[in-house]
A and B are shown apart, each in its own frame.
Chain A
Amino acid sequence: MPILLLVLGAGPAGRGGEQAGKGRATVIVFAAASLTDCLKEIAGGYEKRTGDRVVLNLAASSTLAVQVRAGARADLFFSADEAGMQALEDGGLIVKGTRRSRLSNSLAIIVAAEGGAEVNSPQDLAGAKIKRVALGDPQAVPAGVYAREYLRRLKLWSALEPKVVPMESVRAALAAVESGNVDAGIVYKTDAAVSRKVRIACEAPREDGPRISYPVALLADAPQPEAARGFLEHLGSEQAEAVFRKFGFIVLAGPVP
């Protein structure tokens, strides 16, 4: 019986804010995997304050962009790179004027906290001791695209490419390092900070690394545009920015230069 109730209960929740009239709407946010922890906290606070529900779909931004283009029901898109957002904007899939980028991040090379490889510089990744390096899929996943750009700038990409294990999101790359199945990984500094099973072997200085930018926008086909605007506004509030900072994100005064 409890199972039956669960099954029945899942219906209305999945369809989103049909009860908007009663003052409780459901905002569906498609957000980059790297935003997992901070958005959960921000959404939790917002739900308590407003009574609206925030449903997070967390995955690689590239995956989410494909889902949005395929017609997935979503209100907001919070991407880890501008490319994915630009593609949606070019396709007329976001509401003009709602797009905003004020969040940034930096990359870090990580190894397992216990028994991890000795890595002191990016050049060490090219050494014989490092056999496999986990990245977000450098063909699409923003963290992987950024990591590839970083390694290219250091002229290390061609040496490292055969060692790369492309993962489906930055968090999957983090998990691969945690499990010890790869020797090292490149993730955002904020991802490294949420795991006790990895340690940062070396950080990519922001000036060496690629320009990391997290745009957010209201989607044109949003089922709950009003409620979504409320949450979008909240994401730019001081309260929310304090949470982003707490998790190690860089909050800029204006768009990433």
Chain B
Amino acid sequence: MSAEDWQLLWFTGRMAALSTCLVLPVGLALAWSLARARWRGKALVEALVSLPLVLPPVVTGLVLLKLFGRRGPLGHWLYQHLGWEVVFTWKAVVLALAVMSLPLFVWAARASLQEVNPLLEQLARTLGAGEWRVLFTITLPLARRGIIAGTMLAFARALGEFGATIMVAGNIPGQTTTLPVAIYYSVELGKDSRAWMLAGLSATLAFLAIWATQRLLRRPKR
């Protein structure tokens, strides 16, 4: 493996980790309010969050490109007020990965939050625990498995994302190229052996992610 390949691996891993860090708080808040609270427009929000799961990734990419492009409504605002350029930078990579992996996390976390017995939370409240304490000592620990599984799913999805990434972040070596994009362009350039090598790397990463999840999910020995 060349220095360039190590850089590629490190960059892709970092971007996927960053996007997962973004997905966690947003996704938990979403999952909790979808699982527990009743509010107007819930069905709409639920559909919107899940959309990247069912839409072709390039469509999600197209929407992001139009929103965050230099002349797009959000992209223009970010540039004017924060001086941020999004499209064709690493920020676009994180954005694409986060949007694409959010629904996977929300679905997994939501299902496990719904399974937490509300009686246990009620019990904690009657014993004097505040809402935050209930959340962090009762609800989240009990929903732990779904949250861990969702996190790993989101991370793995981010490692493999291609369609949306290529639309908003392009293929700038060393700046926005991720593993799947590099594989595509290696084939495109007729560099099949590099494509296979990178494909092997991807498979290794995916395997490690699944293995780590299984270890984390193993029930503690009593």
User: Are both chains from one complex?
Assistant: yes
Closest CB in chain A relative to B192 CB, distance in Å:
9
Instruction: Flag A168-183 by CB within 8 Å of B: 1 or 0 each.
Output: 1000000000011110
Of B21-29, B95-103, B126-134, B183-191, the one touching chain A: B183-191
Query: With the chains together, A229 CA to B69 CA distance in Å?
Result: 45
Provided the pairs A165-B170, A180-B70 are in contact, do residues A63 and B188 lie with their beta carbons within 8 angstroms? Answer: yes
Residues on the B chain within 8 Å of A165, using CB:
88, 170, 172
Closest CB in chain B relative to A247 CB, distance in Å:
27
- State whether the Cβ of A139 lies closer than 8 Å to any Cβ in chain B: yes
- State whether the Cβ of A42 lies closer than 8 Å to any Cβ in chain B: no
Size of B's binding interface in residues, CB under 8 A = 16
Query: With the chains together, A226 CA to B187 CA distance in Å?
Result: 32
Query: With the chains together, A167 CA to B188 CA distance in Å?
Result: 12
Asked if A139 contacts B170 (CB within 8 A), the reply is no
Closest CB in chain B relative to A60 CB, distance in Å:
8
- State whether the Cβ of B71 lies closer than 8 Å to any Cβ in chain A: yes
Provided the pairs A66-B189, A69-B190, A181-B70 are in contact, do residues A137 and B85 lie with their beta carbons within 8 angstroms? Answer: no
Residues on the B chain within 8 Å of A63, using CB:
188
Chain B residue with the shortest CB-CB distance to A112: B71
Residues on the B chain within 8 Å of A179, using CB:
65, 69-71
Query: With the chains together, A139 CA to B187 CA distance in Å?
Result: 13
Asked if A181 contacts B189 (CB within 8 A), the reply is no
Binding site of B, secondary structure by majority: helix, strand, loop or mixed?
loop
Q: Which of A227-245 contact B (CB under 8 A)?
A: none
Residues on the B chain within 8 Å of A131, using CB:
85
Chain B residue with the shortest CB-CB distance to A115: B71
Asked if B70 contacts A139 (CB within 8 A), the reply is no
Residues on the B chain within 8 Å of A76, using CB:
none
Closest CB in chain A relative to B76 CB, distance in Å:
10
Provided the pairs A62-B189, A140-B188 are in contact, do residues A182 and B88 lie with their beta carbons within 8 angstroms? Answer: yes
Q: What is the size category of the interface that chain A forms with chain B? A: 10 to 19
- State whether the Cβ of A164 lies closer than 8 Å to any Cβ in chain B: yes
- State whether the Cβ of A102 lies closer than 8 Å to any Cβ in chain B: no
Q: Which of B126-181 contact A (CB under 8 A)?
A: 170-173
Residues on the A chain within 8 Å of B189, using CB:
62, 66, 139-140
Asked if B69 contacts A181 (CB within 8 A), the reply is yes
Residues on the A chain within 8 Å of B71, using CB:
179-181
Asked if B69 contacts A180 (CB within 8 A), the reply is yes
Query: With the chains together, A179 CA to B70 CA distance in Å?
Result: 8
Q: What are 15 A-B contacts with C-beta separation under 8 Å?
A: A62-B189, A63-B188, A66-B189, A140-B188, A165-B88, A165-B170, A166-B171, A167-B170, A179-B65, A179-B70, A180-B70, A181-B70, A181-B71, A181-B87, A182-B88
Interface residues, chain B, CB within 8 Å of chain A? 65, 69-71, 85, 87-88, 170-173, 185, 187-190
Interface residues, chain A, CB within 8 Å of chain B? 62-63, 65-66, 69, 131-132, 137, 139-140, 164-168, 179-182
